[in-house]
Structure 1
């Protein structure tokens, strides 16, 4: 049956330089196997499937698939799917609530762009020495380059290391064959005069995605870590995707109640129907 479809570019003000997400806007009746097959076929970081909510608190329910499996939560698919849902339903609203496997996620229009409220992390704390050693070896760096490290898992399983500079992050040449099941990122600071505070790269071989062009869930978990530890004390911007020929611009903004909001540009670049 024909189903409405949108492919939304997320996190870049320049079309085709962000992270695309494929959105099936009426996924009622699709089984798990079909959803996974579609996600492998689109071959994007994520493909999402919009379903009726199971609670009156949510506007819709979302299932999120990578080529390698289903995720309980992901950031850029949350923003892209909210954008597509609002556009498809011709709804003018500054707030929507998404239901997904990790729970309810609030999305707001803030400063002209959509932002999602970072969900609670499932796992925090420093990365265990053995696993950290594997990451360091796979990244081809020394332990001395690692300024800090942390589990920042809000569903996908993320861990992150912090390097001194953005250039060190950009220069990484990871051997992901050494960490085939990892969900790991690296962040480093840009010079003080830069428009972006940090450079981020995220690697998800465990989900069938060698490198993600722009990752909202990783930035959410890292933002919570940086604010919690006092490494940052005000909103900041992250650039991501340079090594993949992309130009993501991600905003991380704290509220007075401690909520961290992750936002950026969303734009539908392909729309039509799927014949599933």
Structure 2
């Protein structure tokens, strides 16, 4: 329980928690987020079954791919690769995925994919910074699939705007799934399926907020405890009086195919 803990203790705890990888188990008991109904990691594992060669783009710490490979079991592809751009996550993903026979390649998020044309019949990604549709189309074999969960528009913006104030419409509408659909189609891909959901999040203490903003650094760029101490203190008091801070994440699921011809 954190209800009676001091602001200083909670902030210090959130500031000390490690931020590498995409394991969010630290938040257990102090923050919650509803999950999309489609169960991305499990569904990705089902897509791996029968694939010949697969690529996971921006794998983070490799946790989602590791789970998906476990779901696929012995029917997983023989050839699996992953890319990641943040050095601490490259090391973490390599340690986790190498025993599964996955090649992890350090590659900047905004760089061309370091693979040959038509190298994969399945490309996966969970929460890419943005989809590079031309590169995805290039590395997919004809008939191949891109299966990915993207962050949607204005995700967790209740928290973003608590710290930064109201955001302009062009910022709120970034990551719009219909714009991304248009980008996929412009690259010659066919969108076979697109689903979107808005999901409730709750932050039960200020430590969870501090850790979240340190981990998901693009939410409040340049966030530090020192820079936002007054807003953090006010949020701590608000949670104590009103209960959890509520926000909403947005997610959409792409099932995209490269035509056979």
TM-score range, shorter chain: under 0.3
TM-score by length of 1: 0.25
Structure index of larger Rg? 2
Output the TM-score relative to the length of structure 2. Answer: 0.26
Higher strand share: 1
